Amino acid sequence: MSSFELGFTLEVVTSQHDLLDACAVRAQAYGHHMPAMGGQLAEPDALDYASGTTVFLCRDKATGQATGTMRIQSSTYGPLLMEQSLSLPIWIASDTRAEVTRLAVRVGADPLTRLGLWKASYQFCMANGLHWMAVGARNEALIRNYRRLGFIDVFANDQLMPLAHTGGLPHRIMAFDNTSAFQRWGAMNHPLFGFVFETTHADLAAATSPQADEPIFAGLGGRPQPALA
């Protein structure tokens, strides 16, 4: 096992300041392509504070600037956000699962930031016993990237599903089998096998800790825990 130091750190968001920095990255990254949506993401939403949700934030080591973020919601505390808009097939709905949303990388960030976030999401799922990782994707290039990683379509015939939390925009629902990834990637000699499975990245260690039983903002001084709609 080799080790490699990244040019950024990845930590669990535990303060309002860090959460607002994460929102700023969301707004800049999404607003680069969809200006209207960028403005909507500049502030936290209810799910950011909910039990079962963990927000990660990347910071550039040299400047301290927030450069990447993602949010992971586990099924430990109930249905996933996407399940407010659709019914998942029984093979995933009856199993442990997580949904990755608000994955965003600031324009001009370290090229490894997005890959580091994906590795961290996989490590988080494994550390918390989550069999499936689910995402919603609209962009064809992004869909192709997820397929290269080993994500499969949850619904047949490349079906697009409108998601209420995105304003009803249609998304391809895709899922990744975390528990078989090591065997599958090894068998196909996946080009990222070494990065994910044979390299230690101490800067991503925060993703390997089991999720706390309480929301990340519990006890931080008066910030309310909004209920999900």
CA angle 206, 212, 214 (to 5 degrees): 135
Mean pLDDT, all residues of the chain = 90
156-175 mean pLDDT: 90
**CA 147 remoteness from chain centre:** 16
In the predicted structure, residue 181 carries a pLDDT above the cut 70: yes
- Pairwise CA distance, residues 86 & 23, whole Å: 26
Res. 214 pLDDT band, cuts 50 70 90: low
CA angle 63, 69, 73 (to 5 degrees): 155
Res. 220 pLDDT band, cuts 50 70 90: very low
Total-model pTM? 0.90
More confident residue, 131 or 212: 131
* Pairing state between β 97-105 and 66-74: antiparallel
In the predicted structure, residue 63 carries a pLDDT above the cut 70: yes
- Pairwise CA distance, residues 137 & 35, whole Å: 18
In the predicted structure, residue 80 carries a pLDDT above the cut 80: yes
- Give the least confident one: 3-7, 26-30, 101-105, 111-115: 26-30
**Residue 143: per-residue pLDDT:** 93
In the predicted structure, residue 7 carries a pLDDT above the cut 90: yes
User: Tens digits of per-residue pLDDT, 93-107?
Assistant: 999 999 999 999 999
- The radius of gyration of the chain from alpha carbons, rounded to an integer in Å, stands at 17
